[in-house]
Structure 1
Amino acid sequence: MANRLADATSPYLLQHKDNPVDWWQWGDEAFAEARRRDVPVLISVGYAACHWCHVMAHESFEDEQIAALLNDGFVSIKVDREERPDVDAVYMTATQAMTGQGGWPMTVFATPTGEPFFCGTYYPKSNFGRLISSVTKAWTEQREQVIEQGASVVKAIGGAQLVGGPVAPISAELLEAGALGLLKEQDEINGGFGGAPKFPPHMGMLFLLRHHQRTGSAEALEVVRHAAERMGRGGIYDQLGGGFARYAVDATWTVPHFEKMLYDNALLLRAYTQLWRLTGDVYARRIADETATFLLRDLGTPQGGLASALDADTDGVEGLTYAWTPAQLTEVLGEQDGAWAADLFNVTAEGTFEHGSSVLVLARDIDAAEPALVERWGDVRRKLYESRLGRPQPARDDKVVASWNGLAVTALAEHAVLTGDRDSHNAAVEIATVLAERHVVDGRLRRVSRDGVVGEPAGVLDDYGCVAEAFLAVHQLTAEGKWLDAARELLDVALARFATGQGGFYDTADDAERLVTRPADPTDNATPSGVSSIVAALVTYAALSGEPEYREAADAALGTVGPLIGGHPRFAGYSAAVAEAALSGPYEIAIATNDPAGDPLVGEAHRSAPAGAVVVAGEPDRPGVPLLADRPLLDGVPTAYVCKGFVCERPVTSPADLIARLQV
């Protein structure tokens, strides 16, 4: 037995390096070995922070008998879905087609050429042992039927992609239909959409906020405010350390699945920051600030960039770091403050979680309380957080994923320009620099790095889109032309290597490793899809550069996801948000000023900018900044230029006149 995971860069694969299973990493060598031995392949897909991945590993992959069955009859391949989203996408589509559902761990049995013929997710040890034996028997005794099944699955999942599918051009009517679809699905009591398990609807929130800006819909804004408040007061939000868990296991946001993902927190940072911009809600600003702090404090890596996730488990136990009993509160805070905290955080003798412990929630609004209570609350939170640091802490998946770091850069840049936070400003620039200098290799993106070393997996479409959008956010933050150039280089690769020729995009490049089918998933799920992220960057780049061919490519791609926006808006939140920006213009706002940090025009431009607008401030004719070209200071004073669709209004020099220009 020769487990081949010890030299992996993936923390998830390294978690399995001591298994008795003869694991292979994904690659041609593994499939060649399966063909040489004439055995099927087990493809096991998961990620480092996945609770049930850990359970299946402990129950089955650490078991000598299960390992013997796998080693005798299969070539077993471990895949980190976060390093290889292309592989994950292909086999997740197959799993969903065969079982009607998907998730991780994902368990796929395939032919030696990679065609899946039996798929599932988590299996308890006893079921998994029987399944292995059944698959072995089928491969031995019913080989022809197994191969036919694999071929039919590949044909089905190839047809499941929407490349060349129906087109619906973006219109006000289409976006209205998408917004109404979301509003009908909201949980009017608890906020958000759907029931348990309940995921934070960050992309839907961004869409509805932009829809509210463009249309004035009070209902769209209220849905976002309700969801934001209930999540921010719920157990899904870390009431002591900031940051959101992946999802709640109930409909009330009380008990989370404790893993904290970079992408969720980046997208939620954007949503809460924009909600505060539009409403001034105190709790939205607080949660945005605390989420930004969480990202930099808990996910920052020594080599630069942000780590992927904090684990759901601590020492194999969910919630060990985060749950409290009344006695534990009293031990830290004393009798009086302990009782007060138990009441405020709904920590009861019975418990809201497991074994009489509770997840902290805010039982009542505290942000608007009198100053003395807010001060007491802050003191209690600080003491509890410091005490919690003495507990065992969850493991961290410290690989740096390009697309997720891109999402974080965009969120931090928006937080910085709207709040003036220097930590967010500096971090956005620093992380973008890591992406540009480490992850761009010979003009192409690499998806992951770890310990300062870039990995081999090639970037997929969402890497190109999210990183390009991040570079464009930093261009607006700094008015430095190099970031605009860096974004264009990535977009040109995407247009040349990922485009379908029918307006849409594949998720993998035309020169990428050939899988059993070329993935092209247009749906926004946990993260923005490849197509929605690349369109976001294309729309923004066109507005910043004045180059209409990029906008034409964006409009064509938006048409391919139009049917999703109108009919299934929960799975097209980011596409819909981008479409709102495109329909709004987006506005192009240039502020010619010699003091961009302190100019009132700049602050007003960011506060009042319509949905998806681009804003650049700096001295006139700054090199590499097209939006500032031929934009002089009128009468020697700072001047705002407002354009839409490459058509400009008369320039203005007062904040009041700028506000009037930006009314939509």
Structure 2
Amino acid sequence: MPNRLAHETSPYLLQHADNPVDWWPWSPEAFEEARRRDVPVLLSVGYASCHWCHVMAGESFEDEATAAYLNEHFVSVKVDREERPDVDAVYMEAVQAATGQGGWPMTVFLTPDAEPFYFGTYFPPEPRHGMPGFRQVLEGVTAAWTGRRQEVGEVAGRIVRDLSERSLTAAGEHPPGAEELHLALMALTRDFDAVRGGFGGAPKFPPSMVLEFLLRHHVRTGSAAALDMVSATCEAMARGGIYDQLCGGFARYAVDSGWVVPHFEKMLYDNALLCRVYAHLWRATGSGLARRVALETADFLVRELRTEQGGFASALDADSEDASGRHAEGAYYVWTPAELREVLGESDAEVAAGHFGVTDEGTFEEGASVLQLPDTDGLVDAARIASVRDRLRAARDRRQRPGRDDKVVAAWNGLAIAALAETGAYFDRPDLVQAATDAADLLVRVHMDWNARLFRTSLDGVAGAHAGVLEDYADVAEGFLALSSVTGEGVWVDFAGLLLDTVLIRFRDEDGALFDTADDAEALIRRPQDPTDNAAPSGWTAAAGALLTYAALTGSAPHREAAERALGVVRLLGPRAPRFIGWGLAVAEALLDGPHEIAVVGPGGDEATRALHRVALLSPRPGAAVALGEPASATAAEVPLLADRTLVEGRPAAYVCRNFTCERPTADPAVLAGQLGVRE
């Protein structure tokens, strides 16, 4: 019989609706029930494509005996971290403070007042590898709750007090200058893996936000070291097993330091961010590899993650059934030499094995290999490799596909809108721009209410119940602003302004610091606040970036001032921990470089207008903000940067301004390219 989760919309919660555990969704009623029964709360946090969440569910939450013990001694609450990032953030902070590490599934034991007192992540069913068994943990918590209640209360109270003292402030801090950004570059240089690309050791995550900073730093300063780190990392990832060599798209991370074996789940936010990084790398250098990967990743987003309503689903699972019917991680993606021979025949299988790094020993489990792309360019006939890829793709399509989390998350769709709009513009792919526009339309229709408040998620075109958090407002505004620059539709600037005004009213304190939740959001044991990046840009610095671009397009001094004050935290953290505040450093580069305000005016659809607009969009300047419109059009009312801009001698023209000083308008794309540093 289904439990209470059967009424939820989260795909992750629905995965647990048939567990014998008597799950509750996060709600006041769950804690009231714990108080009534005088039992602790088990809080289990995960997400739909989380491999170890599935493992723990199969081992423990689907086990009748374990479920019976939980139902007798606890109120069990299940949370989708992607739906409630605020709940996840608060308790993950406690887990990391107590244990020095974190991850999912996250397992936390709470009092009926939601105060944490014991923590962990994955627990095996029996003691293993130095970890206690889950049943042992449950029995130990029960014994402490019934026999040492005062001690439990003291521990919980101390943890809550410690967390409450961790608030941040931006008061009195100026944004970082050239010196702090140089120090951040030096720190990244020390952490850079010069042999394999990326930063640090295993496991190795795509450093999307850091790469964006390094690219912008290179453009502003000419730093060869910054560009070398970007180019080496992007090539290593693109040739590694973390990248899907058949169909495009990046896995979540590599378990090794050489990008060979991925954790196979594919997330919307990773692919949106990396699509944009590779497109920007092409814009700055003309790299053919960057162009190919940007387009393949954009096509992956549209082909694999686009929903019927026009939005983008959250993720693809790591696991699927293998040929023997066993549920296994990576089964959809890996190959053995025998499988290559079965699909390709002896001769082409040998070519494919060499081209994609498939060995008899295997690079993954049980003799299977993850496809890579060793540097064999030019050694194999391109037409033959294209044929091999086509046949392998067709064979793989006959395998069972990984499950998809169809939940549409506002923030991640904002990232996808920006990536697809820009990639479509750079490479003359109007279908990608249309996909970005469709997603933006969905966010306005379904996620945004009449009061410019956002819902965090939707499913099948129906908004979820949970309020948007700071990253939703920031990333959606960023996506809308990018879309406006590409399409010339000023309404997207208007929508971005509404969202950013909500940020200033609801998410900011008197000192200019930003919180992850609105001032009228559900009260947790602490109001979450984190300026550092996680898998995606922090809401704090993403808001700063959107505020800065909006100010450049509209001339709004309050929005620019808010961006500058929010960046004060980057001055403090950037030189010391640049890997964890990369987006803030990237926004600081835009602040220091610009804004370069670029207004293109001319008749819509005119080839001369189109040529100027394309040059403007191809400017790699970190602080570039582009507006497109017709002279004396309605768009000028929505985008003040276009106000009073006229044609030049009856011809479409571009105006470039910086620091309140404008250059002579030009009708010549070559002159504009020189003004903006566009690569020839």
TM value normalised by structure 2: 0.95
Alignment of 1:159-558 (within 5 A): 159-163=165-169, 167-315=173-321, 316-366=327-377, 369=378, 373-443=381-451, 444-558=453-567
**Alignment partners' CA distance in 1, 2:161 and 2:15:** 34
**Alignment partners' CA distance in 1, 2:569 and 2:36:** 43
- What's the secondary structure of 1:640's corresponding residue? strand
Q: Do 2:283 and 2:620's aligned partners in 1 also have CA atoms closer than 8 Å?
A: no
**Alignment partners' CA distance in 2, 1:617 and 1:392:** 46
- What's the secondary structure of 1:308's corresponding residue? strand
- What's the secondary structure of 1:125's corresponding residue? coil
**Alignment partners' CA distance in 2, 1:490 and 1:182:** 33
Matched, 1:642 2:648: no
Q: Do 2:171 and 2:512's aligned partners in 1 also have CA atoms closer than 8 Å?
A: no
**Alignment partners' CA distance in 2, 1:166 and 1:353:** 52
2:623 paired residue number:
612
Q: Deviations over 1:366-390 (max 9, x none)?
A: 3xx38x8222222211110111000
Structure 1 residues 203 and 331, CA gap change in structure 2 (3 angstroms): same
**Alignment partners' CA distance in 2, 1:155 and 1:565:** 28
- What's the secondary structure of 1:211's corresponding residue? helix
Shift of 1:563: 1.2
Q: Deviations over 1:458-482 (max 9, x none)?
A: 0000000000111111111221221
Say which is worse superposed, 473-482 or 540-549, in terms of deviation. 473-482
- What's the secondary structure of 1:524's corresponding residue? coil
Amino acid at match of 1:445: L
**Alignment partners' CA distance in 2, 1:160 and 1:235:** 39
Q: Do 1:115 and 1:154's aligned partners in 2 also have CA atoms closer than 8 Å?
A: yes
Say which is worse superposed, 292-301 or 324-333, in terms of deviation. 324-333
Q: Do 1:503 and 1:560's aligned partners in 2 also have CA atoms closer than 8 Å?
A: no
Q: Do 1:210 and 1:612's aligned partners in 2 also have CA atoms closer than 8 Å?
A: no
1:85 paired residue number:
85
2:11 paired residue number:
11
- What's the secondary structure of 1:608's corresponding residue? coil
**Alignment partners' CA distance in 2, 1:610 and 1:107:** 45
**Alignment partners' CA distance in 1, 2:227 and 2:170:** 35
1:655 paired residue number:
669
Q: Do 2:313 and 2:407's aligned partners in 1 also have CA atoms closer than 8 Å?
A: yes
Shift of 1:164: 5.6
Q: Deviations over 1:226-280 (max 9, x none)?
A: 0000000000000001000000000000000000000000000010000011111
Structure 1 residues 166 and 118, CA gap change in structure 2 (3 angstroms): farther
What is the RMSD computed on CA atoms of the aligned residues? 1.4
Q: Deviations over 1:267-294 (max 9, x none)?
A: 0001000001111111110000000000
Structure 1 residues 273 and 472, CA gap change in structure 2 (3 angstroms): same
Shift of 1:209: 0.3
Q: Do 1:168 and 1:561's aligned partners in 2 also have CA atoms closer than 8 Å?
A: no
Structure 1 residues 596 and 212, CA gap change in structure 2 (3 angstroms): farther
**Alignment partners' CA distance in 1, 2:623 and 2:422:** 11
Matched, 1:591 2:600: yes
**Alignment partners' CA distance in 1, 2:176 and 2:161:** 31
- What's the secondary structure of 2:5's corresponding residue? coil
**Alignment partners' CA distance in 1, 2:159 and 2:661:** 51
Q: Do 2:170 and 2:566's aligned partners in 1 also have CA atoms closer than 8 Å?
A: no
**Alignment partners' CA distance in 2, 1:463 and 1:365:** 42
Q: Do 1:243 and 1:290's aligned partners in 2 also have CA atoms closer than 8 Å?
A: yes
**Alignment partners' CA distance in 2, 1:163 and 1:374:** 56
Shift of 1:109: 0.2
Amino acid at match of 1:375: A
Stretches of structure 2 that go unaligned for 5 or more consecutive residues are 127-132, 322-326
1:128 paired residue number:
134
Shift of 1:168: 5.0
Q: Do 2:486 and 2:617's aligned partners in 1 also have CA atoms closer than 8 Å?
A: no
Matched-pair identity in %: 57
**Alignment partners' CA distance in 2, 1:561 and 1:575:** 6
TM value normalised by structure 1: 0.98
Q: Do 1:475 and 1:484's aligned partners in 2 also have CA atoms closer than 8 Å?
A: yes
Structure 1 residues 209 and 409, CA gap change in structure 2 (3 angstroms): same
Shift of 1:392: 0.9
Q: Deviations over 1:26-58 (max 9, x none)?
A: 010000101111111000000000000001001
Q: Do 1:167 and 1:561's aligned partners in 2 also have CA atoms closer than 8 Å?
A: no
Shift of 1:300: 0.6
Aligned residues: 661
**Alignment partners' CA distance in 1, 2:157 and 2:187:** 37
Structure 1 residues 284 and 215, CA gap change in structure 2 (3 angstroms): same
Shift of 1:19: 0.7
Structure 1 residues 165 and 349, CA gap change in structure 2 (3 angstroms): farther
- What's the secondary structure of 1:399's corresponding residue? strand
Shift of 1:655: 2.2
Amino acid at match of 2:33: E
Q: Do 1:546 and 1:646's aligned partners in 2 also have CA atoms closer than 8 Å?
A: no
Amino acid at match of 2:335: W
Say which is worse superposed, 617-626 or 265-274, in terms of deviation. 617-626
Q: Do 2:2 and 2:19's aligned partners in 1 also have CA atoms closer than 8 Å?
A: no
Structure 1 residues 92 and 82, CA gap change in structure 2 (3 angstroms): same
Shift of 1:609: 4.0
Alignment of 1:25-104 (within 5 A): 25-104=25-104
Q: Deviations over 1:120-162 (max 9, x none)?
A: 1000012110010000010111111101111111112222342
**Alignment partners' CA distance in 2, 1:201 and 1:217:** 19
Structure 1 residues 28 and 597, CA gap change in structure 2 (3 angstroms): farther
Q: Do 2:170 and 2:565's aligned partners in 1 also have CA atoms closer than 8 Å?
A: no
**Alignment partners' CA distance in 2, 1:163 and 1:616:** 34
**Alignment partners' CA distance in 2, 1:9 and 1:213:** 45
- What's the secondary structure of 2:657's corresponding residue? strand
1:600 paired residue number:
611
Shift of 1:77: 0.1
**Alignment partners' CA distance in 2, 1:184 and 1:168:** 26
Stretches of structure 1 that go unaligned for 5 or more consecutive residues are none
Q: Do 1:2 and 1:23's aligned partners in 2 also have CA atoms closer than 8 Å?
A: no
